[in-house]
């Protein structure tokens, strides 16, 4: 496999993984060496296979894309992380770029764009969806770069509810059950929280919320 770009693919939807794997492996220079169904497994598979690139969904059970990216980059800085997401909201993008992702591609992109992004991040380049790049340039022009807010944006009441339960050590599934929402919705709230607080993990989010006096630990 000399010269081949080795990829770990992480997405909690089997059909999505199958489709992505098929068109990646249709390329002679790309091989998918492992598949993960959640962020925790993705981190473990990166440690096991030491791939060149991880193609990572942002919303997954157990450990989401932001936290998985942060852990992968901390433990294996040479591994490139490419986010494949259905969302182009600024909180998702900023949190992931801060966590160390090299690229951010929307799931609406065609197969050629994803293949090109995998090759780009493998070369050490960044690969951002055009809509994300446009907003990044606009924010740089106004002096407020994406992901570096001048002040911390206040959390919504629901986001604070989620953080209180995170502080109690609950899993995303347990938080969802407690609040009557899906664990994917919990992941969405966490991504928004990470972006607003300019953090990349649950622990940092809780710590910052404690500093701000938004939550307390009983």
In whole angstroms, what is the distance from residue 189 CA to residue 65 CA?
13
Q: What does pLDDT average to over the chain?
A: 83
Question: pLDDT class for 150, splitting at 50, 70, 90?
Answer: very low
- Provide the pLDDT for residue 107: 82
In the chain, ranges of CATH 1.10.10.10 domains: 157-212
Asked if residue 148 has pLDDT above 50, the reply is no
In the chain, ranges of CATH 3.40.50.2300 domains: 5-141
pTM score, whole prediction: 0.64
Domain spanning 5-141 has what CATH number?
3.40.50.2300
In whole angstroms, what is the distance from residue 70 CA to residue 61 CA?
16
Contact (CB, 8 A) for 72 and 42: yes
Could you tell me how far CA 23 lies from the centroid of its own chain? Answer: 22
A 10 A CB-CB count for 141 gives 9
As a whole number, mean pLDDT of residues 113-140 equals 77
Q: What is the pLDDT of residues 41-69, one digit of tens each?
A: 999 999 999 999 999 988 777 777 888 89
Contact (CB, 8 A) for 26 and 115: no
CATH ID of 157-212, from 1.10.3720.10, 3.40.50.720, 1.10.10.10, 3.40.1160.10: 1.10.10.10
CB within 8 Å of 6: residues ≥ 6 apart: 31, 33, 49, 50, 51, 52, 53
Please state which of the ranges 44-48, 73-77, 128-132, 167-171 shows the lowest mean pLDDT: 128-132
Asked if residue 92 has pLDDT above 70, the reply is no
């Amino acid at each position: 496999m000399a010269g081949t770009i080795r990829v770990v693919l992480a997405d909690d939807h089997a059909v999505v993984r199958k489709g992505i794997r098929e068109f990646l492996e249709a390329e002679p220079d790309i091989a998918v060496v492992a598949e993960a169904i959640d962020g925790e497994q993705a981190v473990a598979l990166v440690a096991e296979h030491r791939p060149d690139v991880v193609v990572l969904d942002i919303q997954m059970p157990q450990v989401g894309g932001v936290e998985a990216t942060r852990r992968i980059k901390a433990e294996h800085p040479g591994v490139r992380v490419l986010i494949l997401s259905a969302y182009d909201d600024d909180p998702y993008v900023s949190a992931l770029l801060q966590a160390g992702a090299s690229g951010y591609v929307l799931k609406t992109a065609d197969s050629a764009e994803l293949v090109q992004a995998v090759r780009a991040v493998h070369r050490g380049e960044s690969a951002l969806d055009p809509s994300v790049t446009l907003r990044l340039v606009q924010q740089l022009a106004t002096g407020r770069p994406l992901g570096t807010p001048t002040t911390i944006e206040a959390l919504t009441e629901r986001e604070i509810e989620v953080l209180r339960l995170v502080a109690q050590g609950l899993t995303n599934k347990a938080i969802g059950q407690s609040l009557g929402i899906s664990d994917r919705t919990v992941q969405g709230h966490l991504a928004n929280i990470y972006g607003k607080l300019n953090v990349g993990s649950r622990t940092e989010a809780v710590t910052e919320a404690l500093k701000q006096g938004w939550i307390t630990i009983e």
